[in-house]
């Protein structure tokens, strides 16, 4: 599947930049950076770095998968993005457990992670349905 040929719904998608899940996951990267900016300096190579990397992984894998030449490859990258999203949620929870974030601060990012996850799962289902209809 070439980037310009991505057709998910009745709306023609010109590229990954048009995907709402890519746009929203980019916003989540900014949130992750803002949240980790308050972490203790001794976490810079630990939780801060790991949390930022998995946040970056979500939109990166969505983008990379969308420009692959097959639906199966796109699905594989979407599954990686979904795994990174679960990793992000876990690390945010751990940051709260360690006292780096309050539950009040954590609520909004966790809600956004849940919504992005549902969007990724919805796209996965549509692509799987497309694959099954081609058989």
63-99: per-residue pLDDT in tens?
999 999 899 999 999 999 999 999 999 999 999 999 9
- The domain total for the chain is 1
pLDDT of residue 134: 80
Q: How far is C-alpha 49 from the chain's CA centre?
A: 17
Backbone angles phi, psi at 70, to 5 degrees: -140, 155
Q: How far apart are CA 4 and CA 14, in angstroms?
A: 5
CATH code, 37: 1.20.1440.60
Q: How far apart are CA 118 and CA 126, in angstroms?
A: 12
Is the whole model's pTM more than 0.95, yes or no? no
Stretch 27-52: mean pLDDT: 97
Q: How far is CA 83 from CA 10, 100, 103, 109, 134, in A?
A: 28, 23, 23, 16, 27
Q: How far apart are CA 132 and CA 24, in angstroms?
A: 28
| Residues forming beta bridges with residue 12, ordered by sequence position | 7
Stretch 51-56: mean pLDDT: 98
| Domain containing residue 91 | 3-134
What's the pLDDT tens digit per position in 1-22? 444 345 444 445 568 999 999 9
Contacts of 77 (CB under 8 A, 6+ apart): 61, 62, 64, 65, 66, 68
3 state SS of 17: helix
Q: Is residue 21 exposed (0-12), middle (13-18) or buried (19+ Cβ within 10 Å)?
A: buried
């Amino acid at each position: 599947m070439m980037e310009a040929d991505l057709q998910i719904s009745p709306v023609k998608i010109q590229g990954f930049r048009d995907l709402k899940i890519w746009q929203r996951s980019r916003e989540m990267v900014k949130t992750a950076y803002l949240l980790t900016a308050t972490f203790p300096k001794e976490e810079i190579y630990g939780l801060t770095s790991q949390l930022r990397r998995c946040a970056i992984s979500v939109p990166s894998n969505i983008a990379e998968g969308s420009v692959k030449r097959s639906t199966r490859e796109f699905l594989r990258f979407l599954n990686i993005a979904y795994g990174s999203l679960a990793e992000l949620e876990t690390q945010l929870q751990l940051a709260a457990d360690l006292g780096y974030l309050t539950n009040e601060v954590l609520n909004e990012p966790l809600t956004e992670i849940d919504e992005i996850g549902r969007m990724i799962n919805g796209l996965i289902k549509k692509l799987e349905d497309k694959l099954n209809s081609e058989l």
